[in-house]
C-alpha cells in the first residue's frame, strides 16, 4: 500500500512538472541575454562606463556595520576597502597581480594574495554585469528553464568558469534582471556553495544597478548584507596606479639612546 501511494505521488509530481514545463514561455538563451543587456541599460551606456566607485554599508553581524568601498576600472582592475574601528583592510588587482593587507591580523603592509583569494578577486575584476561579461568572455552558458525564487518566476542560466567553478544566475521573468546568484566552487579540495540575493535596483546614468546584496554559505544561517549608499560612474581620481600594490612603509627612525642615562629634571 505504501509503495502504491509513493508511486501515485511520484506520478502526480511528474505530471505537474510536465504541465509546468509545457506552459513555460518559449525563449532561447540568446534572447534571455539580449533582454538582460537591454534591462541594464543597453550596450552603449554600459560601454561608456570606464571606471566605477561604489560606497556600501556592510552588516557583517546583527547591529555591527562597516564601510565597504569598491572601485573598478576597465579592463579587469578592482580595489576593495573595508574600514572598521579606524582601520582599513584593502585588496587590489591590477589585471595581472593581486595583493592585500590585513591590519586586523597585524599585517599592515600589502603582500601578494594567496591562491583562493586571488581567484576570487580575478572573478570580481571582470568589468560589467555578470551575464554580459560571461558572454563576452566566451564561457560555456546554458539555459536551465524556469524556477521560482521567493515566490517569483525566474529564468535560470548556468555558467561554467574556466577555473572549475559553476555560477548560476536567476533572472526575474518580468524584468530580466538578476535576483539571485549561486556559486559552487572548490576551496582547498572541498566544495562550497555561496548564495547571494540581489535586489533594490536603481538607475544611475541610465544604467540599472542593484543596491542590495545578501550573501552567505549554503547551510550557514549567518549572512552578510551589503546596502549600496552611492554609485559614481567615471569618477575622478581612479587611474591605473591606484590598483598597484602599495610599497612597504618604511619604519620611523628611532631616536638615539641617551648615553648619559639617569633621569632629567
C-alpha cell belonging to residue 139 = 564561457
Range from 27-31, 141-145, 159-163, 250-254 carrying the lowest mean pLDDT: 250-254
Residue 164 pLDDT level (bands cut at 50, 70, 90): confident
Residue 134 is predicted with a pLDDT of 84
pLDDT digits (tens, 9 = 90+) for 38-95: 999 999 999 999 999 999 999 877 778 899 999 999 988 999 999 988 899 999 999 9
Q: How far is it, in rounded angstroms, from Cα 184 to Cα 165?
A: 6
CATH number of the structural domain 26-243: 2.50.20.10
pLDDT tops 60 at residue 33: yes
Residue 228 is predicted with a pLDDT of 96
Residue 263 is predicted with a pLDDT of 46
Give the chain's mean pLDDT.
Answer: 83
Q: How far is it, in rounded angstroms, from Cα 93 to Cα 89?
A: 14
C-alpha separations of 135 from 32, 36, 43, 184, 216 in Å = 12, 12, 13, 19, 26
Residue 139 is predicted with a pLDDT of 86
Q: Give the domain ranges of the chain.
A: 26-243
Q: DSSP secondary structure string, the chain?
A: -HHHHHHHHHHHHHHHHHHHHHTSPP--HHHHHHHHHHHHT-HHHHHT--EEEEEEEEEEETTEEEEEEEEEETTTEEEEEEEETTEEEEEEE-SS-EEEEEGGGTEEEEEEPPHHHHHHHHHHTS-S-HHHHHHHHT-EEEEEEEEEETTEEEEEEEEE-TTS-EEEEEEETTT--EEEEEEEEEETTEEEEEEEEEEEEEEETTEEEEEEEEEEETT----EEEEEEEEEES-TT--GGGGSPPPPPPPPPPPPP-SS-S---
pLDDT tops 70 at residue 116: yes
Instruction: Answer for the pair 167, 53: CB distance below 8 angstroms, yes or no.
Output: no
The percent of residues above 70 in pLDDT, for the chain, comes to 83
pLDDT tops 90 at residue 137: no
C-alpha separations of 180 from 99, 154, 176, 197, 249 in Å = 29, 9, 12, 5, 41
Residue 20 is predicted with a pLDDT of 37
Query: CA 211, 128, 222 angle in degrees (round to 5)?
Result: 45
Nearest to 89 by CA among 76, 77, 70, 104: 104
Q: How far is it, in rounded angstroms, from Cα 211 to Cα 57?
A: 11
Amino acid at each position: 500500500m505504501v509503495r502504491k501511494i509513493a508511486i501515485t505521488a511520484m506520478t502526480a509530481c511528474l505530471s505537474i512538472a510536465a504541465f509546468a514545463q509545457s506552459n513555460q514561455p518559449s525563449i532561447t538563451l540568446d534572447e534571455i541575454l539580449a533582454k538582460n543587456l537591454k534591462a541594464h541599460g543597453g550596450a552603449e551606456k554600459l560601454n561608456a562606463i570606464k571606471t566605477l566607485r561604489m560606497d556600501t554599508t556592510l552588516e557583517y553581524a546583527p547591529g555591527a556595520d562597516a564601510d565597504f568601498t569598491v572601485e573598478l576600472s576597465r579592463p579587469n582592475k578592482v580595489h576593495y576597502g573595508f574600514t572598521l574601528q579606524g582601520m582599513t583592510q584593502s585588496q587590489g588587482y591590477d589585471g595581472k597581480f593581486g595583493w592585500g593587507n590585513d591590519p586586523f591580523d597585524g599585517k599592515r603592509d600589502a603582500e601578494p594574495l594567496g591562491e583562493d583569494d586571488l581567484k576570487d578577486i580575478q572573478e570580481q575584476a571582470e568589468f560589467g554585469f555578470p551575464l554580459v561579461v560571461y558572454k563576452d568572455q566566451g564561457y560555456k552558458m546554458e539555459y536551465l528553464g524556469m524556477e521560482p525564487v521567493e515566490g517569483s518566476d525566474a529564468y535560470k542560466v548556468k555558467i561554467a568558469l574556466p577555473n572549475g567553478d559553476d555560477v548560476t544566475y536567476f533572472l526575474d521573468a518580468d524584468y530580466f534582471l538578476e535576483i539571485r546568484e549561486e556559486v559552487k566552487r572548490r576551496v582547498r579540495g572541498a566544495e562550497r556553495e555561496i548564495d547571494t540575493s540581489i535586489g533594490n535596483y536603481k538607475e544611475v546614468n541610465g544604467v540599472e544597478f542593484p543596491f542590495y546584496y545578501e550573501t552567505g554559505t549554503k547551510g550557514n544561517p549567518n549572512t552578510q548584507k551589503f546596502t549600496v549608499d552611492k554609485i559614481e560612474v567615471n569618477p575622478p581620481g581612479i587611474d591605473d596606479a591606484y590598483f598597484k600594490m602599495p610599497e612597504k612603509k618604511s619604519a620611523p627612525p628611532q631616536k638615539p639612546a641617551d648615553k648619559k642615562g639617569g633621569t632629567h629634571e
